[in-house]
Structure 1
Amino acid sequence: MVKRARSRGTLASLAAELGVSRTTVSNAYNNPDQLSAQLRQRILAAAHARGYPGPDPMARSLRTRRVGSIGVLLTEDLTYAFEDAASVDFLAGMAAATHGSDSSLTLIPAGPSETDASALVGRAVVDGVVVYSVAEGDPHLSAACARHLPLVVCDQPTGIDTLPFVGIDDRAAIRPAARALVEAGHRRIGILAIRLQREHQDGPVDRATLPQAALHVQRDRVLGALDEFAAAGIDPAQVPVITRHINDHANCFSAARELLETHPDLTAVLCTTDSMALGVLEYARDHGISVPEELSVTGFDGIRNALILGLTTVIQPNKEKGTAAGRMLLSLIDAHLADQPPPDPPPRQILPTTFHAGRTVAPPRD
């Protein structure tokens, strides 16, 4: 004899059985602070006994027009979000912003490739999007804008006046690091930078194309350093700049090797990320180069490992940046769902940075 499966309860049947409204049953799951602890426990116990899993989240999203998730568009492979220390701090800030908001995070890892940008971004089920550090004219940014959802740009591009923005002044922020090298007496200085263009490029940077580089965060850090060097009488054309498309350990180490082996006369290296600086420190250690006695090094970001090692660097508020972007987006989502017009002009928040003197800068030996 085949037993009939016991039918699962529904919100309506549970409400009728308990003698409460359907809203009360729904509140037991979605707004528990609206009920007494005793009533909520009685509803949950009855639901468990009847096999009722709770209100259908899809039905709720249709009713409230809110999905309950905000997207973070990363134009990197997904592993980068968990390996790059600055990105980890940024995502931690985003998570902090969503705490208590009934919204989760959805990572949209577009990767460096630009294929199927519209399809990838279009499939994301989110209430809004934070676009994290993409090039001006990037197709993923265009695809995100085409969805007409609330959107916040973080880091770059900065030049789109119609979009909300959170970031720092990269060109000004790096100047204290460059100034520390100049004031220590260095004149033979090299620069390591990560991706400047959407197209894959590793090696020396063409100085003629630098001012038009599509990724302005790195472009502005390089230009800010060159501004400081020029003010000290150092010819920017004599400052070698080496770039890597991917900011991982292997590339940072190889960039350090390329710069120091092709320019053995350098007494200092300015890096536009702490990851690059850590690559220089590792290369120097492996080749018996004393830091800072024989080679001075500066970084940018203020990640934990760099600070532990005493790196001279610029600390940018990566976690606070994520929190600010998340809160700005949630506010825009609330206004959007209330059918309020978007703010004009769009909100724009520039966060401060701090120079950390560290222990990796000293006068050149000669």
Structure 2
Amino acid sequence: MAKVTLQTIADRLGVSRATVSYAFSRPDQVSAELRRRVMEVADELGYAGPNPTARSLRLGRAGALGLLFSETLAYAFADPYAVGFFQGLATAAEDAGVGLLILPLPHGDKRTEPVRNAVVDAFCVVSLPDGHPALDEVLGRKLPVVVVDEPYVPGHPFLGIDEPAAGALAARHVLELGHRRLGVAMVGLHDDGHIGWADVARQRAATFEAMRGRRDGYQAAAEEAGVDWAGVPFYELSRNSREAGRQAGHALLARSPRPTAILTNTDVLALGVLDAAADLGLDVPGELSVVGFSDSAAQDAGLTTIRQAKQEIGAEAGRLLLAGAPARPERLLFPHSLIVRASTAPPPLERH
């Protein structure tokens, strides 16, 4: 029998999940009649209410999970990957009857006060660079911690994907199509605001562990195919936006010889590269192949990309933090897959 959740009851009654959550945790926010109906259906389905341990956290302590990530608040609600992850985490919190306290730390922001002053019962840390002082502050609070994407912290649960393998899968796809003139556009290597060309030394010194691994995968696959990585033009960006991708696309496509395939580490950047190709009148995939990453807002554009389980990762992070017992300090790697669509094909000279 499937697990009964707040959403199960909401679907039965034709109301929102939040309404059912209020019936349990904030009964003053719903009518007596609606609360009675919610309780009747809950009893019928054998649902005793939100997780007792999580409910005790809410009633006896802060009743909130802290979500710490290295971007702006506006970005969190606009980036397709971030939105998917947050939906998964928020669903787990809502089912448990606890809230989320969002603690954004935009690139370059080294403050620790938001963490020190946060009234929370646990932390979910998402994509912080190596050595960020806020992470030390989190660990110093001695609260439950789950890390997502980066950095790996020994002794605490880690959720993510096999980044080198995923990067290699993306690069290998275009290499197997016959491409040898590659270009790369990446964001999230460093948090120093750099925009422009990045040589191999700067690439390898990236302070964001996940992006460092993804880039390593690109390089490994290229070198397996006999491509000299030092000769691959690599354009670094400081923000993950479509306009930034367009800027990178123009820079890469101005090279001589021009790349026939461009790898990007986000779908948003890939969409910008497609914009640049359109500006220049280049046919995709006839004259240029483009590969994104994450499968967020990619389908409508026909974008070939790497799919990762963003909502599932968010939900599992919430489950671990609300389980009521210390989570095992293990690396939980979620599956990824190559999704081939209309933005990739053999290079022009390979066509017959």
Q: TM-score, normalised by structure 2?
A: 0.81
Moved over 4 A (4+): 28-32, 60-64
Q: Does 1:237 align with 2:220?
A: no
> How do 1:95-110 and structure 2 match up within 5 A?
95-110=90-105
Q: Specify the SS of the correspondent of 1:301.
A: coil
Preserved CA contact (<8 Å) 1:68 1:104: yes
Distance 1:93 1:184 in 2: 35
Distance 2:262 2:108 in 1: 31
Q: How far 1:350 moved relative to its partner? A: 0.7
Per-residue CA deviations over 1:9-68 (Å, capped at 9, x if unaligned) read xxxxxxxxxxxxxxxxxxx96598xxxx89x87xxxxxxxxxxxxxxxxxx989953311
Tell me which residue corresponds to 1:261. Answer: 254
The 1:177/1:67 distance shift into structure 2, 3 A limit, reads same
Q: Which one of the candidate residues 270, 290, 303 is aligned to 1:311?
A: 303
Q: Does 1:326 align with 2:314?
A: no
Distance 1:62 1:306 in 2: 39
Distance 1:195 1:63 in 2: 35
Q: How far 1:84 moved relative to its partner? A: 0.8
Q: How far 1:243 moved relative to its partner? A: 0.8
Q: How far 1:211 moved relative to its partner? A: 2.2
Preserved CA contact (<8 Å) 2:185 2:236: yes
The amino acid across from 2:275 in the alignment is E
Preserved CA contact (<8 Å) 1:114 1:140: no
Tell me which residue corresponds to 1:293. Answer: 286
The amino acid across from 2:147 in the alignment is V
Could you list the runs of 5+ residues in structure 1 that have no partner in the other structure? 1-27, 42-59, 336-341
> How do 1:317-356 and structure 2 match up within 5 A?
317-331=309-323, 334-335=324-325, 342=326, 346-356=329-339
The 1:30/1:323 distance shift into structure 2, 3 A limit, reads closer
Per-residue CA deviations over 1:288-341 (Å, capped at 9, x if unaligned) read 1000000011111101x211211111001111111111111112xx23xxxxxx
Preserved CA contact (<8 Å) 2:58 2:97: no
The amino acid across from 1:99 in the alignment is E
Q: How far 1:353 moved relative to its partner? A: 0.4
Q: Which one of the candidate residues 203, 210, 221 is aligned to 1:228?
A: 221
Q: Does 1:282 align with 2:265?
A: no
Q: Specify the SS of the correspondent of 1:228.
A: helix
Per-residue CA deviations over 1:124-172 (Å, capped at 9, x if unaligned) read 21111101111111112111111111111100012x2122111111110
Preserved CA contact (<8 Å) 1:73 1:131: yes
Distance 1:202 1:63 in 2: 44
Q: Specify the SS of the correspondent of 1:262.
A: coil
> How do 1:153-172 and structure 2 match up within 5 A?
153-158=147-152, 160-172=153-165
Preserved CA contact (<8 Å) 2:307 2:336: yes
Distance 1:360 1:283 in 2: 14
Preserved CA contact (<8 Å) 2:265 2:293: yes
Distance 1:155 1:206 in 2: 24
The 1:62/1:259 distance shift into structure 2, 3 A limit, reads closer
Q: How far 1:249 moved relative to its partner? A: 2.2
Per-residue CA deviations over 1:250-279 (Å, capped at 9, x if unaligned) read 212111111211345211101111111101
* Number of aligned residues: 304
Distance 1:68 1:106 in 2: 10
Q: Does 1:150 align with 2:133?
A: no
The 1:31/1:260 distance shift into structure 2, 3 A limit, reads closer
Could you list the runs of 5+ residues in structure 2 that have no partner in the other structure? 1-22, 37-54
Tell me which residue corresponds to 2:16. Answer: none
Q: Specify the SS of the correspondent of 1:192.
A: strand
> How do 1:34-49 and structure 2 match up within 5 A?
none
Q: Does 1:65 align with 2:48?
A: no
Tell me which residue corresponds to 1:123. Answer: 117
The amino acid across from 1:351 in the alignment is F
Q: Does 1:132 align with 2:126?
A: yes
Tell me which residue corresponds to 2:70. Answer: 75
Distance 2:175 2:58 in 1: 61
**Identity rate, percent:** 39
Q: Specify the SS of the correspondent of 1:166.
A: strand
Distance 2:71 2:202 in 1: 24
The amino acid across from 1:129 in the alignment is F
Looking at CA atoms only, which structure, 1 or 2, has the larger radius of gyration?
Answer: 1
